Amino acid sequence: MLWIAVLFIFVLVMSHAVYTKKKGTGLVLAAVGDDSDMKIVPPSGAKPSFEDAGEKAAQEFVLQKENGNIDKAYALGKKIADVLFEENSPVLTFCQESTESFERLQRKILFAFVADTVLNQELPSVLAETASQEFLAQIPKRDLFLSEKINDPQTLSYYLLGAKNGRERFENIGRAFALLCGDQENTGLCSLGECLCREYSRLCTQMIEEARFCE
């Protein structure tokens, strides 16, 4: 039984040490009665927040729903998907028409990336997320393989790295497009990717304007 007594004393000492250390940080546990009464006591002078990010997002969603913007965002997401799958759509014919299957696939992946980027740049977060989710939800219904490629983290990483570089983003996106087409040194593919990025951006911006969201 001696080892049980020693263990009990050790636990008491460690508990006191942890409590003392926590006390100095400004956020401690105040225990009253059993464990069900334990409460988090905020640092001195701090005021509790009654609206967290989730509550604000919910309020924003309700507001955008009431003025009709959420329905417009869903419609926009579906419209972008329709353009993606349209026969001989601008996605496949902008700049120069692509006939090779691998190049057509990469065009669609690039368009999906640009569409999501423009939505997040041009719209409030709740509308951008709604439109983007609807757009992405439409893709596996029509082409499961394309959906998997669009959501491939490795593919997205090439475009994300290129998109971060300010004025050079179009040029970097062009190089990423050529790389994903299998020929990073092909200047023609680099130029095509750069051109497509610009044209896709214009097209998506135009579709957002045509949606006529309420201010």
Residue 45 is classified by DSSP as: T
Question: Strand, coil or helix: what is 29?
Answer: strand
Residues 6+ apart with CB under 8 A from 31: 37, 38
- pLDDT at 14 (0 to 100): 45
Q: What is the pLDDT along the chain (215 residues), one digit of tens a residue?
A: 434 444 444 434 444 444 343 334 333 333 333 444 434 444 445 554 545 777 877 887 888 888 899 999 999 999 999 999 998 889 999 999 888 999 999 999 999 999 999 999 999 999 999 999 999 999 999 999 999 999 999 888 888 887 766 667 778 999 999 999 999 899 999 999 999 999 999 999 999 999 999 98
What span, in angstroms and rounded, lies between the C-alpha atoms of 70 and 72?
5
Residue 32 is classified by DSSP as: -
Q: Tokens 């490629």 sit at which residue? A: 149
Whole-structure pTM value: 0.73
Compute how many other C-beta atoms are within 10 angstroms of the C-beta atom of residue 24: 7
What span, in angstroms and rounded, lies between the C-alpha atoms of 74 and 94?
25
What span, in angstroms and rounded, lies between the C-alpha atoms of 65 and 77?
16
Q: Tokens 């095509």 sit at which residue? A: 192
